[in-house]
Amino acid sequence: MSGLTRARRTAVAIAATAAAAATALTAASPAGAAPQPIVGGTTTTTGAYPFMMQITDASQDQFCGGTLVSPTKVVTAAHCMVGETPSGVRVVGGRTYLNGTNGTVARVSRIWIHPNYTTATRGEDVAVLTLSTAMPYTTAKYVSSTDTSVYAAGTTARVLGWGTTSSGGSSSNQLRTATVPIVSDTSCGGSYGSDYVKSEMVCAGYSSGGVDTCQGDSGGPLLVGGVLAGITSWGEGCAQAGYPGVYTRLATFSSLVTAQVNS
């Protein structure tokens, strides 16, 4: 997989019927919301979200997002780290623009990938990076193993990233954010069938689409009440009606992440 396509490698084709999806999903998109270039969000800054990290290659070309949870630990997606070595990865904090040169660049001393990870659609899509030097930014709290209320259907979640603003489109030079409602397990299972593993994943999006994470947003945060509750993982295309974004259900992996954060 080349560097150019690595952040797109989880865009998977799913053979679910549109009819099944239409009946499974019930949330409505905001009335009169115009499609804006994430898909359908607004621009923001790392000043507003200081824990939002760019995951880049050694040339500081961003390919995924990550969330700073301690000065030297970053939570991201396992699928972002497959084939990577610590020496080939950088974490960039405090840089709102992809073409910026400001902020703090950290080297990576260790990459932990969930030991059972195979592909995003099987779950366990979580990784923790250990930085060689501390980031001078406010960290994000993450959910505990017993925090299940954050995944209640209809709960408003926030996503962030520099990913493409349409499926197959261009990345956003400026960090973007959007809010999306959590989708029920029943509904998401209706969309994705057996690829949706409810104990390991959570879906978010409007039944009519229009707002979603997209290629390059992978590894970035899904926040509920400002707390990290999910990791951008996969989906059928981006912002398609009936196909919400799929996120790693972080509560399931909270103890494992804490073990890494404390290691």
Q: What is the DSSP string of 166-183?
A: STT-PBPSB-EEEEEEEE
How many Å from the N-terminal Cα to the C-terminal Cα in the chain?
Answer: 31
- C-alpha span between 78 and 75 (Å, rounded): 9
Considering only the stretches 8-16, 17-25, 67-75, 99-107, report the one whose residues sit in contact with ligand 4AZ under the rule CB under 6 A: 8-16
Establish if 195 lies at the interface with ligand 4AZ (CB under 6 A). no
218 binds ligand 4AZ (CB under 6 A): yes
DSSP 207: T
Considering the candidates 184, 191, 207, 218, report the single residue annotated as catalytic: 218
Strand, helix or coil for residue 218: coil
Q: Is 125 a catalytic residue?
A: yes
Distance in Å, CB of 29 to ligand 4AZ, minimum: 15
Name the residue number minimizing CB distance to ligand 4AZ. Answer: 235
Distance from the Cα of residue 247 to its chain's centroid: 6
In angstroms, give the least distance from the CB of 81 to ligand 4AZ: 13
Binding to ligand 4AZ in span 198-217, by CB under 6 A: 212-217
Cα 54 to Cα 90: distance, rounded to the nearest angstrom: 8
The answer to the question of residue 235 lying near ligand 4AZ (CB under 6 A) is yes
- The yes-or-no answer on residue 212 being catalytic is no
The one among 76, 232, 248, 260 contacting ligand 4AZ by CB under 6 A: 232
Kindly report the backbone phi and psi dihedral angles of residue 241, in degrees, each rounded to the nearest multiple of 5, phi listed first.
Answer: -55, 135
Which residues of the shown chain bind ligand 4AZ in the complex (CB under 6 A)? Answer: 7-8, 10-11, 212-218, 232, 234-235, 238, 245
